[in-house]
Chains A and B, each alone.
Chain A
Amino acid sequence: MKDLETDYRHAKPGQSGPGAVDYLDLDTKDQTFLDTTELVLNMGPQHPSTHGVLRVILKLDGEKVLGTECVIGYLHRGVEKIAENRTYAMFNPYVDRMDYVAAVSNGLGYCEAVEKLQNVEAPPRAQYIRVILTELCRIASHQVWLGTHALDIGALTPLFYCFRDREEILKIFEKYCGARLTTHAFRIGGCIYETYDGFEQDCLKFCDAFLPKLDEYEELLTTNRIWVRRTKGVGILNPEDCIALGVTGPVLRAAGVKWDLRKAQPYECYKNFDFEIPTGVNGDTYDRYLVRIEEMRQSVRIIRQAVEGLPQGPIMAKIPKVLKPPVGEVYHSIEAPKGELGYFIVSDGSLQPYRVRVRPPSFVNLQALDKMVRGLLVADVVAVIGTLDIVLGEVDR
């Protein structure tokens, strides 16, 4: 009878109640009803809303989730192992294929890590170009998140709005480096391409056009009663849990922790810019939504400042043609759209890295799924997967 009295929202693992049930033990009978058996539902890897090839094994009591288990690896390509057989420069395009929604950020993290190992720094103009493109990429990534997240909750239209406006960003990428998705925009030591004619105007034009469109998205969702009901109080993650699980990015900030690597350990030229770190209060799906929306606004602010202050000068640092970093190891992390993206590189002084280890934000954030959905309903599982903003290319690598 105690199970019945426990509100499903407050069920926590480790306590008595539904959360305490071991989800894969089929013999465990719910004592509430005599002939109730749990249903084990396989969600994915071919499922419309697991964002790729994530497989979640759900143990259900009716619609209530008793436990989950994530099965990953369907998109494993061994990116880290490939690095050991490529030179530093050759591995650069591969990192774009991890988080393919935010390829520019991945490239930035890798280039900076190798630069740190080599002890060089990109010239100021290159840094500014990197910041502009990375922030554009952050907006594009958040747009994909917003569209798919809304689609998971049943709102069809925001997806198309988001993809329409993302197109403008992809056009800027295409004009800059010829590719739209897996851009390979940066090189170790700076940028290889000078900005094209009209780059600044394109960026400013996008900034001006984008803010009203952001209001348009908000008009469809922020005050929509159904949207608020579907997201408020769903998938709550408190700051202590976030830190214990290593969750980073908007998910952490929505819990009220003001931790953004752009401010906490400024890399590139982020200390030159004036921007805010939005944080949430409750750490629920709605707060994560608001935080990401506000992040897009702040990114627009950064892009404007960067375009206006774009310095002249070289775009490539002086680095040897054949890159042989000194023996040693380095860990460098940046604030990718999804959280802390870190690269740990060990060099043995040869042409190829001895070992590359990536700390992908999606992979770490996905750990929180079980904690967030225990005791919720099936419909909340897709909402929570959406709000974690995972990309399976990055989870599986």
Chain B
Amino acid sequence: MFDAITKYLGSNATPGEAGSMFWATIYILIITVGISLAVISMNWLERKILAHMQVRIGPMRVGPHGLLQPFADALKLLIKEDIIPQDADKLVFWSAPVVVTMTAFTTFLVVPFGREHAVTDMNIGILFMLGISSLGVLGIIMAGWSSNSHYPLMGSLRSSAQMVSYEIAMGLAIVCAVLMTSLQTGTGTLSMIGIVESQASQHTWFIFKFFPLGFLAFAIFAIAMVAETNRAPFDLPEAESELVAGFHTEYSGFRWSLFFLAEYAAMLAVSSIAVTLWLGGWMRPFPTWLGGSTWDMAFSLFPALTFFVLAGLCLLGAVRMPKIPQMKIQTTGLAIFGFLLGFVGLLLIVPGVRERVQDIYWFVVKVAFFMYLYIWYRGTFPRYRFDQLMKVGWKILLPTGLGVLIATALWGLLPQISSSILGVLP
């Protein structure tokens, strides 16, 4: 048995491919904890970034610069009274947040954080992701229906209509990317790892392929994914000014926090799809143009550098803290956090570790970029009205998606078409 566990470490494959149950479980645990941590840090970052966009400073009290605020909030939500409305359908009310959270987390089974850093590599990976993530709408309908209240009902109806209509445009954009894996190479794939590898073998990210077709498909996906996750400017299901809190109006405490967790996990999931399909997944920028061992070496220092910069910011913050006794604990805490980050940075410089975390680092950086976009949208845009949202989905994104799909197919077949025409000509 011990052999079975250690044997995997030698293989260059995902646990799913290697058939190692043990390591698959470990990966799932790591991913679950990692996503939860990412959601927590995203929570803090969103509040901070949004605050700075809005001439505020955001959370400052719990921990240095409010770093412990998300943990305090989580604790508060956990110990809140568990309320189920009297007229609610108890079983459905209970299971709705579970369904939403489960679907949001299950999608990460096939997300490739690196060549061998995924739970498994399904040959229908992208279909699996789409299928599972569209199950999330079921949980939202359940939540809205079982609450037995007007605002949640309207929120969930809006949400289901919105998710279903945007999924079509999203699907068309995805088909474009899948087509790009097969065209000019002849071997198409739906596997998430396969899609990234075909980008590597074609020496391009699909966002730049068949310019501007790849970019258009990416843009359609980038718009549809915001609508799919119910975020601003498409956040109608939870439009605070109209529907109070939308489908989770009646939820509180831990159940509410599950919805929160699921929303952010879903955002991470769709961003991962976007990164995998169009931005080269785990690949570092310019793998061929800036190729060679020297550049490899330089790029492999990025993870450590990032952590050093973060550590530097923390230590600078600690130095700049007011020198008064009341702030002593905060200052020490920030300094310790800075040193911890610096230590992680040092760890990432060790040659063996350095190469292995490369893939994960670039993937996370690209996903983080999308997360920043989400926050940026929220700070900038007003909200669409329901009929306008539908108009954007059905009248703009869908026809554009169809056009891009056909154009992509034709462009990809161009060599074959031209050669067959030339062959027929005398």
Which among A153, A220, A227 is the interface contact of B241 at CB below 8 angstroms? A153
CA distance A219 to B244 in the complex (A): 28
- Looking across the interface, which residue of chain B has its beta carbon closest to that of A221? B382
The proximity string for A residues 144-164 relative to B, scoring 1 for CB distances below 8 Å and 0 otherwise, is 000000111111110111001
Query: How would residues 375 to 397 of chain A score, 1 for a CB under 8 Å from any chain B CB and 0 otherwise?
Result: 00111111000000000000000
Q: Is the CB of A380 within 8 A of B53?
A: no
- Chain A interface: which of B323-331, B359-367, B383-391? B383-391
- CB contacts (< 8 Å) of B168 on chain A: these are none
Tell me, yes or no, whether B397 is within 8 Å of chain A by CB. no
Q: Roughly how many angstroms separate A230 CA and B239 CA in the complex, as a whole number? A: 14
Contact (Cβ within 8 A) B239 A154? yes
Q: How far is the CA of A382 from the CA of B386 in the complex (A)?
A: 13
Q: Does B79 contact A (CB under 8 A)?
A: no
Q: Are A377 and B387 in contact (CB under 8 A)?
A: yes
Contact A154 B379 (CB under 8 A): no
Instruction: Report B139-157 residues with CB < 8 Å from chain A CB.
Output: 150-151, 154
Q: Which residues of B contact A224 (CB under 8 A)?
A: 381-382
Chain B residues contacting A157 (CB-CB under 8 Å) are: 53-54, 379-380
| B381:A154 contact, CB within 8 angstroms | yes
Q: How far is the CB of A247 from chain B (nearest CB, A)?
A: 23
Quick one: given A224-B382, A229-B385, A377-B387, are A41 and B150 in contact (CB under 8 Å)? Answer: yes
Interface majority SS (helix, strand, loop, mixed), chain A: helix
B193 part of interface (Cβ distance < 8 Å): no
State which size class the interface on B falls in.
20 to 34
Pick the contact of A379 from B50, B236, B378, B380 — CB < 8 Å?
B236
Q: Tell me whether B385 and A227 are in contact (CB under 8 A).
A: no
**Which residue from A156, A159, A221, A378 sits with its C-beta under 8 Å from B154?**
A378
| CB-based contact A152/B241 at 8 Å | yes
In angstroms, how far is the closest chain B Cβ from the Cβ of A338?
Answer: 20
C-alpha spacing A42/B149, complex, angstroms:
11
Alpha-carbon separation in the docked complex, A221 to B381 (Å): 9
Contact A156 B50 (CB under 8 A): yes
A76–B67 Cα gap in the complex (Å)? 44
CB closest chain-B residue, reference A159: B54
Q: What's the nearest-Cβ distance from chain B to residue A121, in Å?
A: 43
Q: 18 new A-B pairs (CB below 8 Å) besides A226-B381, A379-B386?
A: A48-B241, A48-B244, A49-B241, A63-B386, A151-B241, A152-B241, A153-B241, A157-B380, A160-B54, A161-B55, A220-B380, A221-B382, A224-B382, A227-B382, A230-B385, A377-B385, A377-B386, A379-B239
Interface residues of B (CB under 8 A from A): 50, 53-56, 150-151, 154, 158, 232-233, 235-236, 239-244, 378-388
